[in-house]
C-alpha cells in the first residue's frame, strides 16, 4: 500500500512545485498582470457607464444627443458587470497559457525543462490550465469592484445561490485556460498575436458581454443560435444568472452543462496538442 501511494505523493508534490514556481514568477510580474486585467474593463466602464450617462443628463435639452447617449445609461452597468468579469476570465486564461507557450515552444525549447519533472507529460499541461484558472478567478475578483463602483448609475447585484456562482467561476476559468492551451499548442509562436486579433476579439464581442443572450432572440434570432458555439457566451450568461438574476439569462442547468462540455472538448484538444508538440 505504501509502495502504491508513493507515486501519487510524488506526483502531487511535483504538481504543487510547478504551481509554486509559476506563482513565484507571477509575483515578480504582478504589475503587468494587474494592468492586463484592469485596463480594458476600466476603459469600457468609464466610457459606457460613467461618461455616457453624464453626457446624456447634460444634453437632456437636446433630444438627438439625449437619445444617442441614453444607450449607455440606465441599467447598462448592471448588464455589463457580469460580461466584463467574463472578459477578464477569458483574457487572463488565454494569456496565462498561450503566451508562455509561445516562448516555451520557441527556439529555446524551455518546455523541455518542465516535462523533465517527475510528472506524466499530460499532467504538465493540466498544471498550466489549473494555474491559469487561478489567475482568471483572481482577475474576476479584481474586476468586480471596478464594475460595481465606477458606473454613475447604481449596479444591482444579488447573489441568491453561492454554490452556482462558485461553480460558474471555476468551470469558466478552467475552460478559459483550456482554450489558451488549445490556442498555444495549435498555432506557431509567431502567430499568437494574430490569433488574438482574429479569434479572441471576435468571440468577445459576440460573447453576450454587452447584452443578454435573450435580447438576441427578440431582434436577431439567427445570431442567437450562431453564438451558442462561443464558450464566452456561457461565461457571461452564467455570471449574469449568478450576480444579476433579475436580468434575462439562460437556464442555469444549460449554462453549467455547456461550460462543462466546453472544458472537456477544449481540454482534450489542448492536451492532445500539447503531447504532440512535446513528444513529436
pLDDT tens, 96-120? 888 888 777 776 677 777 778 788 8
Q: Check whether 89 has a pLDDT greater than 70.
A: yes
Q: Check whether 234 has a pLDDT greater than 50.
A: yes
Q: Give residue 151's pLDDT.
A: 75
Please report which residue ranges of 150-230 form alpha helices under DSSP H: 162-186, 192-195, 201-205, 213-219, 221-226
With bands split at pLDDT 50, 70 and 90, how would you rate the model's confidence at 3? low
Higher pLDDT, 265 or 121: 265
Eight-class DSSP state of 206:
T
Length of the chain: 280
Q: Check whether 262 has a pLDDT greater than 90.
A: yes
**Owner of C-alpha cell 474576476:** 140
Higher pLDDT, 108 or 237: 237
Give per-residue pLDDT as tens, 157-193: 888 889 999 999 999 999 999 999 999 888 877 777 7
Give per-residue pLDDT as tens, 15-67: 888 888 888 888 887 887 788 777 777 777 777 777 766 766 555 444 443 44
Q: Give residue 232's pLDDT.
A: 93
Q: Give residue 146's pLDDT.
A: 80
In angstroms, the CA 100 to CA 77 distance is 34
Q: Quick one: 170 exposed, middle or buried, by C-beta within 10 A (0-12, 13-18, 19+)?
A: middle
In angstroms, the CA 183 to CA 174 distance is 14
Amino acid at each position: 500500500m505504501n509502495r502504491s501511494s508513493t507515486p501519487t505523493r510524488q506526483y502531487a508534490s511535483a504538481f504543487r512545485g510547478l504551481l509554486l514556481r509559476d506563482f513565484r514568477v507571477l509575483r515578480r510580474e504582478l504589475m503587468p498582470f494587474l494592468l492586463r486585467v484592469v485596463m480594458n474593463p476600466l476603459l469600457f466602464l468609464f466610457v459606457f457607464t460613467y461618461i455616457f450617462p453624464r453626457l446624456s443628463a447634460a444634453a437632456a435639452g437636446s433630444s438627438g444627443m439625449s437619445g444617442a447617449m441614453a444607450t449607455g445609461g440606465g441599467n447598462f452597468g448592471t448588464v455589463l458587470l457580469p460580461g466584463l468579469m467574463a472578459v477578464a476570465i477569458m483574457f487572463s486564461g488565454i494569456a496565462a497559457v498561450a503566451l508562455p507557450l509561445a516562448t516555451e515552444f520557441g527556439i529555446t525549447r524551455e518546455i523541455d525543462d518542465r516535462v523533465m519533472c517527475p510528472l506524466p507529460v499530460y499532467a504538465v499541461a493540466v498544471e498550466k490550465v489549473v494555474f491559469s484558472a487561478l489567475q482568471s478567478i483572481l482577475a474576476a475578483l479584481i474586476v468586480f469592484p471596478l464594475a460595481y463602483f465606477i458606473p454613475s448609475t447604481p449596479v444591482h447585484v444579488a447573489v441568491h445561490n453561492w454554490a452556482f456562482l462558485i461553480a460558474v467561476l471555476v468551470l469558466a476559468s478552467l475552460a478559459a485556460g483550456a482554450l489558451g492551451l488549445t490556442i498555444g499548442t495549435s498555432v506557431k509562436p509567431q502567430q499568437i498575436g494574430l490569433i488574438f486579433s482574429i479569434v479572441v476579439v471576435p468571440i468577445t464581442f459576440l460573447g453576450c458581454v454587452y447584452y443578454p443572450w435573450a435580447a438576441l432572440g427578440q431582434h436577431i434570432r439567427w445570431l442567437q443560435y450562431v453564438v451558442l458555439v462561443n464558450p464566452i457566451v456561457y461565461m457571461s450568461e452564467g455570471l449574469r444568472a449568478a450576480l444579476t438574476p433579475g436580468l434575462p439569462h439562460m437556464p442555469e442547468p444549460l449554462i453549467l452543462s455547456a461550460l462543462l462540455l466546453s472544458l472537456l472538448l477544449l481540454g482534450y484538444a489542448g492536451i492532445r496538442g500539447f503531447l504532440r508538440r512535446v513528444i513529436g
